[in-house]
Chains A and B, each alone.
Chain A
Amino acid sequence: MTALVIAEHDNASIKGATLNAVTAAKAIGGDVHVLVAGHNAGAAAQAAAQIAGVSKVLHADSDAYAHGLAENVAALVESLAGNYSHILFPATASGKNIAPRVAAKLDVAQISDITKVDSPDTFERPIYAGNAIATVQSSDGVKVITVRTTGFDAAAATGGSAAVETVQGPAASGKSTFVGAEIAKNDRPELTAAKVVVSGGRALGSAEKFQEVMTPLADKLGAAIGASRAAVDAGYAPNDLQVGQTGKIVAPQLYIAAGISGAIQHLAGMKDSKVIVAINKDPEAPIFSVADYGLEADLFTAVPELVKAL
């Protein structure tokens, strides 16, 4: 029984979500291998070899894998699948894009967003926006899985010494090409990995106010900034800050929700946070039902006051 974890990386280093997926792979019980597919990603492959508990790193280097196109990466993973009992992806935009394609090519079901490994064939996963937890058993020969990163601790990024083996995969499909990307510049901790997250909602009223009120609080706490769907839809914050069922799932030590009412879909993205603080004018806001500490106040006075008091 050997598990293959598909690494997410930026060519130079391994992204955090991969480390959580490695922990899930270890929980399954066999050897853990990591696949680093990319173009000029040798440094990322070396970094993967350092991850504690990884026994082998497969490194596939080709311009076909440069931008993680699903068609090409899935074909590569499919070509390697014969050696593995489990194939795990972090449940990130990239993992969710590729994993089902691999599963369908192998004619197996895919298990999305697992939060717990009960046994090598039985897993827990949230359904209905996290309002129910399903325990599912797979009878397929290969289990293709995406791992909800907040469900597993990160494996240590150092301490391992796995061998790096070069593998060849199929050529590019030619059916898709990468045109370009607009990745937001961000000096803050990554939203899904941050210890503290401060999130703003529609009550902030404008993009300027969002920046003006939330940024000092995030700076003070060394926090990542998140947003509700309402704030994103209104253009107060970029899409990739959205926390919720259809955005990012976070589980920080401290989550501060300012001006967020707390719709089911938002709660799905943050209710596993250790401590939740809600700041809202409306005493009836559903967010107060999950908040450990609720402050019924106008956020435009309470948040600056909080920044000063910290």
Chain B
Amino acid sequence: MKALVAVKRVVDYNVKVRVKSDGTGVDTANVKMSMNPFDEIAVEEAVRLKEKGVVTEIIAVSAGPAQAQETLRTAMAIGADRGILIETTEELQPLAVAKLLKALVDKEQPQIIILGKQAIDDDANQTGQMLAALADLPQATFANKVEIEGDKAKVTREVDGGLETLSVSLPAVITTDLRLNEPRYVTLPNIMKAKKKQLDTVKPEDLGVDVKPRLKTLKVSEPPKRGAGIKVPDVATLVDKLKNEAKVI
């Protein structure tokens, strides 16, 4: 079966982002960008399914500016067979991305579609669910374990309080949680090989999708700063401060 994996280019998770002084957004110029960590887990899972003989072809998809090609090359270095870039300089919100992916799902007919549970920039946690809704497919979000059994996927999900297991009929949309797997490191030979893999570029117009943002960002501001704390020399002082100064115990 064919697998489709969606990957996003985001500010690297180790970067401490800075809010622009004019309040229009976060400064992303000259900042290190990487593949969204949850998407690496998604690609890794697809590759593992291929290694098990369940999946025959993995298509990595990204939507965004031309630089998102690098993210697709990374996905191909991990093991995706080919890439599709939906190129646009417009701001893309989850609903628009879900519609773009829906168009590709219609075209490519994958049996399994894997996304990260959330992107670490907008922290929305929406795209996978929205894609499932638009394509009228079942969803298994926050996956911790995926087993393909014939025309069904048995997925264990991380929920509040523990784990739950669902069985969904394929095709289905799965979103990855942190502990689904440990993504492999890409090796130099695989990076070289990835450069030769097929990468197609399409535009949102080619897919007939209107990507106009639905939410208008009026302003982006710094979160309130915490007052400077103090260091205490010993446990007795700590207990005293908590009891008499902070009055929390």
Contacts and interface: CB of A to CB of B under 8 A. Distances in A.
Contact of A128 (B11, B163, B221): B11
Contacts of A113: 123
Judged by DSSP, the binding face of A is mixed
A97 B172 CA distance: 14
Contact of B179 (A67, A239, A264, A265): A239
A246 B116 CA distance: 11
Given A173-B138, A275-B248, A182 B26 contact: no
Contact of B162 (A138, A181, A291): A181
Contacts of B238: 277, 293, 295, 306
Given A128-B121, A133-B220, A112 B133 contact: no
A246 B235 contact: no
Nearest to A246: B178
A112 B129 contact: no
B79 interface: no
Nearest to A131: B17
Contacts, number: 256
B249 interface: yes
A221 interface: yes
A136 interface: yes
A232 to B, nearest CB: 8
Nearest to A75: B133
A175 B179 contact: no
Contacts of A264: 13-14, 16
Interface string B200-239: 0000000000000111111111110011011110111011
By size class, the interface of chain A is: 35 or more
Interface in A111-158: 111-113, 122, 126-140
Of the listed residues A99, A134, A233, the one surrounded by the most CB atoms of chain B closer than 10 A to its CB is A134
A42 interface: no
A175 to B, nearest CB: 4
Interface stretch (B56-64, B80-88, B139-147): B139-147
B133 A93 contact: no
A265 B178 CA distance: 13
Interface stretch (B65-73, B90-98, B191-199): B90-98
Contacts of A101: 129-130, 132-133, 139
Given A71-B139, A178-B164, A112 B223 contact: no
B221 A133 contact: yes
Interface of A: 67, 69-71, 74, 92-94, 96-105, 107-113, 122, 126-140, 173-184, 186, 192, 196, 221, 229, 232-233, 238-240, 245-246, 248, 253-254, 264-265, 271, 274-277, 288, 290-297, 302, 305-306, 309-310
9 contacts: A67-B164, A74-B133, A100-B129, A109-B94, A109-B213, A127-B123, A176-B140, A179-B164, A292-B227
Counting from the closest, the 6 A-B pairs by CB-CB distance are: A100-B129, A109-B214, A104-B133, A104-B130, A100-B126, A175-B138
